[in-house]
Structures are given as structure tokens and as C-alpha cells.
Structure 1
């Protein structure tokens, strides 16, 4: 999932020998569950037996029932995932498992559990009329969990992606360049995920009866649609849209506002001018400029979009176990990095550590 500005990392500390220390072999992962289907959340622990594993959802204990139970290996099993239940909350929420033996208690990461859904389209494609040789653009938007796969149909037949004049961008945009009479028809968007399949409203593409605009007729370059501001996580793919018209046909180019090179690694052009950056890193953050130039001149139009790349929290330094005599001092160090800057939380036996007379947190809780 995408990161939130309140990203947090937690550090658990102990003071026992390594041989008896509890540690996770497998922690629960973020997951998207399907309604009325089984769900398994992992929690495998090693350490001195006996080990008791319990589960919490949104901070409250998960009670065992014929439908929900903890398996022998610590896994939480939900027989049929529910959105709503009589007299209680839904199964969605943040889950964590806690493992305890005679030496202490260890709490897992919080796993976000969502239910797959595909609500109605909130943006439908709109009918348009385009001159021959011009550019057509349709867009649809839908908020699916997980993100829906978008395809297009013309006159109820799946659109062929082999035609180079047709560009399908994953965020629900269809671009048609060099429009011909054969492109006329009724278009619609098809969204599919594990929850459902939905169809958008119809949008008709009409081609005006004019012949191609004579070469001598000059039309200034115009950017029909430029790049949007994007916030992504490292390793995702960024697609910055840029589609332009004009006569003669404008040349689309990309640059960064800060003058730094965009580079070539993982860079690809989709269609006639859309920029795709695969496997984004923190270095890709910046403002991108799309320029539509009239060939052979300095006449151009520009559009800007900001790409912000975030990185989830990760530990650079972990707290180490120590043995100290009564009355002595112990220092635990925990360093994490991420974008935005992570907020560190200390836990003792699974409970948030509160600074007091004999407990001090320094240097941003490190």
C-alpha cells in the first residue's frame, strides 16, 4: 500500500539470553481479503517453549469462535471474511500477534487487512468530436481495492493494443493519435479486480467530415493533457502523461525543472510522449516538464507535474540485548530511516514505554 506521512517504526527491547529470546520467523503481512472467503494471517515464533500466541485487532483481543480461531502454529484463521457481523465490527482492521513465554512478550508488526471492493466509476469517459488527423482522449476513474485493471472496448469489442495510434495508460486513460474515420464508435472502460467487474458509461467518438487540415494551415502546439502530481513508493512505476496537438505535429520532450538529467535507466516513452519511469527511487523525486515544440522553431508549450517518491521505514540500527546488574544503567540504540522521517516508538513487553525517573528517551526517541 501507499505510505502515510505518519509512518512509524517500533523497537522492542529485552534483557534475556539469546538462546531463550523470542523472535519472529514469520509476521502477519498486509492483505486484501475477499468477502466470504477464508483468510490466514501468519505468526510463527521461535524461543523457549511453552509459547502462547494471542491476536489483537485494532488493539482489542480477537476472541475465538467457530468462525475465528488461532491454529497450533500461531496462524489466525478466519473461516469466512465478513464486512459486517451481527452485533460486532467487521473483520477489517489492523491485526497484530503477541507471543509470550516465561522470559517476556514480543509483539509483531501491525498488518492492515482490507476487504476487496470495486465501487462504481466516479469518472466516466465523455463523448467527443475530433477532426481527422487529430487526437482523441478518453478517461475513466474507479477506486478499487486492490487497484482495478483497466481495459477498453469499442463497439463492445476489446480494443486492439497492436495499433500504435492507440495508447492505454494504466490509470484509465485512452489516447488515440492521428484519428481516422475507422476509429469512430462507442467506447467504454472495463474495470476488473478480485471483487468484481464493472463497465463505464458509453462515450461516442465522432470524426468530423473535414479532410485533413492542409499542411499550409498552421496551428500552434497545444498540450491537451499534461502530467499530474504523483506521490509513489520506491519501486513503483511512475507514468507522467503528455499529449499534444498542432500543425505541423509538435515534438514532445521531457526535462526536469532543476536541470538534472532524467537518465535512461528504466525510462520509456509510451505512445507519442508519455513518460514512464520504472522502479522509482528517491532520486526520481522532482518537478518534470513536458514541452511540445513546433518542429524547426523555438515555439513551444509546457506543462509541469511533481513526482514525490516516499520510502517506508527501515531500521539502520537495532537495539541489542544486554545483561546488567541491579542498579546499573542500560542504553538501547535504535536508528531508522524513511521518507517522510519515521516516528520511533519504544515498547517494553509489548506496551508503549513511557519516559519516567529511570527511563529517558533522547535524540528523537533513539
Structure 2
């Protein structure tokens, strides 16, 4: 069997550990990466993920990696190395433990931020994890509170409250300090903090307030008085949309709720369509209450302008309201950079293509630091291609492609290893195996 030999000999200790011997490779059957001394490539077993922390409670961020030689782990927050202390420590497996999460420390800084772990192997090669966004749970004051209103009997009432909570608050409603349940089909409680009451009756009158709660706190809004007027036979009334869909941006697999509540006499019929004429579909789509549209497990195809129409029965009289739904998708790789084995003086090209909504931006790291371009190192084709024209010993490293958009980040890595070159001793000549 015809055999060839691939070897790297170098006096640098970091290389002696990995390339202390030649590797016999059967022609055409093993990739360069597998021919590199049979050692395991540096890679992550666990990476940190986005998390919401609770003030004064412990927080654990995962990070675990393996590869050739001993692996050390360091953590960065917003690009700055995290200093360990009695409160903050790196566990044996590389995870970061903050024993008491602080919303505001003595140095007027919060533990919130973007965290990443950087792992280094015995050869000095560095690999950086994806960035994890750490936010502190909060339940701030209401941005808007329910307002008192007067509604004629048989009409429609709408009450709302709004606040920016982390994580999103669970909102319930009380009438005269008693919880409003979903048992009455005339009552529609939307998760976004909206209460709709159809065919209002005198028994619906009372004091209403919303209750918002999450892991951080519970808040009660001001009370609003719902008054119901009683009069003679209701007169004809053109359809009116009390509240139409708002522009909404979500991430794939989340749920979108587009509101549409209308009134009129006779009671208008609410329907939905897309401005582009495409079908809304039926899978994962349902109507809440008398006209609100809910789309579960949203995909990119659900993006578009939605039209709510309130039609007077038996006529062409209608009112419309429009809302834009944007469904974002975090980056995913279409093409990954591949590990390469090249001699000094040779060239190398790494290609990394990612897709997502919005279109991801791509940056490159070399051994965990932002790659600097020069006469020999260039980035082209919208940052998707990294080219090294004349390889030097300093170019041996792990190169990472970081794809990022407003929906998330992703990373892929490849290694450039040096092989036999003119400045290195040659391997034994090919031999016939007996």
C-alpha cells in the first residue's frame, strides 16, 4: 500500500506538544484536519446562552470545552476580562458563577451585559464562545394605565395597561378587586395587557385595574371606572375600529397577536387579510375574541402587512386598519470555514456564509481577537471570505466567523495549521508497505 508522510517539526514548545511525530496517511482517505497528529480540535461542549438574572440571586453561565492539551478558560464581559473574587468565580468545568447578582455594584456598574468565554489550549490557540446577553429581571412603573370610560349598553369596552418588563410580565385583570376570569366569552384578555368586553351590560360596570407580575415583582395599576349607560333602542352606527393592529417585531417561533376591536350597529364583522394578497393560512392561526388575530410559532413567511377590516353586515361599508408584522431569524450558517493545513509561504482561503433576518453582519476573529487585515490578510465578498496570501508562522491560529443580527449571534471556527515547508526538515521518503 502506497503511504505518504505528513509532519511538522518546530522548536516552539507549543508545537512540539501537538506535532512531535509524523502521521502516516493513506492517500486520499483522510482530511488534512484528521491528519494533524490525530489530536482533537479545540471545540465547545457547552456555550453560554442568553439569560435573565434575578438581583441578589446566583447566576451560572455555562462554558465547557475540550481539545488537545490542557484547556484554560477566561471570561469577558462587554469585551473586558472578568476578575474573579469571592463573589465571582470560574468553576472547574469552565462555567462562570456569580454568587450574588448585582444590579448596581460599588463601582456603579451592573453585572448585566454581554458575556463570552475564551478557551485556550496547550498550544496557545484560542476559541471564543457566542456572546450571551445577561439582563436583570425588572418590573418598572407602568408606561400607560387603564382610563375610565363610558360605554352604552351593548357596546364594546377596551381597557389597557402597558409596561416594559424583563422578562415579559404576566398581566391579569381585576374588577372591584376580584379577578376577571376567562369564563365569560364576552371578555377577551390579551397577553399584551389588553381587556376587551363585547356586548357590554350594566353588570359589567365597576372599577377595573390590571395586575402585572414576573420574577422581579408585582405591580397594580390605578383603577379605572367603567360606566354603562342605558338608553332606548340603539341607533344605526357606522363601523368604527376602536383599536387596530400595531407594528410588531418578533423572533421566529414566537407568538404574534394583532389586535382589532370594532364597534357599530349592527355589530360589524371583523376579517383579516394580507396587503400583498397572500393567504394568511390556517396552521397556527386563530382568532381571539371577536376579531384579534393570533399567529403561533411564527416563521419568516408570516412577515408582512396585515389588514383588519370591519364590515357592516349586508353592505360594502367597511373600515380598515393596517399593521406591519416583522419576523426576525437569528443567523445560521450556509457555508462553514474549513480547517486547513498549509506550508509557510503558501496561501489559505476561509469562506463563511450566513443567512438570517435581518441580514447578518460577519466579522472575523483570530485566536479570540478581532482580526487585523494587512498586505497579506484580506477580507472580501461582504466579509464572507478571508484570504491569507503568504502564510507566516504567526498565521497559525484558530479563525472564527461571527455572524450577528438583532435576533442573535452565531459562530463557526476553523484552524490553520502549518505543514512541511522549505524551512523545515523533510519527512522520510515514501515507502512501499510490505
Give the gaps of 5 or more residues in structure 2: 1-31, 385-434
Write the distance in 1 (CA, Å) between the matches of 2:250 and 2:107: 38
C-alpha deviation, 1:350, in angstroms: 0.5
Task: Report how many aligned residue pairs link the two structures.
Answer: 350
Q: CA distance change for structure 1 residues 149 and 254 in 2, over 3 Å: closer, same or farther? A: same
Write the distance in 2 (CA, Å) between the matches of 1:89 and 1:22: 33
Q: CA distance change for structure 1 residues 293 and 285 in 2, over 3 Å: closer, same or farther? A: same
TM alignment of 1:187-336, pairs within 5 A: 187-211=208-232, 213=234, 217-336=235-354
Cα RMSD after superposing both structures: 1.4
Matched position secondary structure for 1:283: helix
Hey, what does 2:413 align to over in structure 1? none
Hey, what does 2:161 align to over in structure 1? 140
C-alpha deviation, 1:311, in angstroms: 0.9
- CA offset digits 1:10-69 (Å, max 9, x no partner): xxxx98947332100100111110000001010000112311101111111111111111
Hey, what does 2:356 align to over in structure 1? 338
Write the distance in 2 (CA, Å) between the matches of 1:180 and 1:250: 18
C-alpha deviation, 1:203, in angstroms: 0.5
C-alpha deviation, 1:212, in angstroms: 5.0
Matched position secondary structure for 1:331: strand
- CA offset digits 1:83-136 (Å, max 9, x no partner): 112235221111111100123111111111111010111100000011000000
Write the distance in 2 (CA, Å) between the matches of 1:79 and 1:245: 54
Write the distance in 1 (CA, Å) between the matches of 2:83 and 2:347: 40
Write the distance in 1 (CA, Å) between the matches of 2:232 and 2:203: 14
1:38 aligns with 2:58: yes
Counterpart pick for 1:354 among 340, 360, 372: 372
Q: CA distance change for structure 1 residues 145 and 337 in 2, over 3 Å: closer, same or farther? A: same
Hey, what does 1:81 align to over in structure 2? 101
Hey, what does 1:175 align to over in structure 2? 196
1:106 aligns with 2:127: yes
Write the distance in 2 (CA, Å) between the matches of 1:182 and 1:168: 18
Hey, what does 1:63 align to over in structure 2? 83
Hey, what does 2:146 align to over in structure 1? 125
Matched position secondary structure for 2:379: coil
Larger radius of gyration: 2
Write the distance in 1 (CA, Å) between the matches of 2:333 and 2:285: 30
Contact 1:52 1:99 in 2 (8 A): yes
Hey, what does 1:166 align to over in structure 2? 187
Contact 1:132 1:212 in 2 (8 A): no
The range that moved more, 99-108 or 197-206, is: 99-108
* TM-score of the aligned structures, taking structure 2 as reference length: 0.79
Q: Which structure exhibits the higher relative contact order, with contacts defined as CA atoms closer than 8 Å and separated by 6 or more residues? A: 1
Write the distance in 2 (CA, Å) between the matches of 1:209 and 1:44: 68
Contact 1:236 1:278 in 2 (8 A): yes
Write the distance in 1 (CA, Å) between the matches of 2:328 and 2:291: 25
Matched position secondary structure for 2:377: coil
Write the distance in 1 (CA, Å) between the matches of 2:360 and 2:152: 52
Hey, what does 2:205 align to over in structure 1? 184
Moved over 2 A (4+): 14-20
Give the gaps of 5 or more residues in structure 1: 1-13
Matched position secondary structure for 2:272: strand
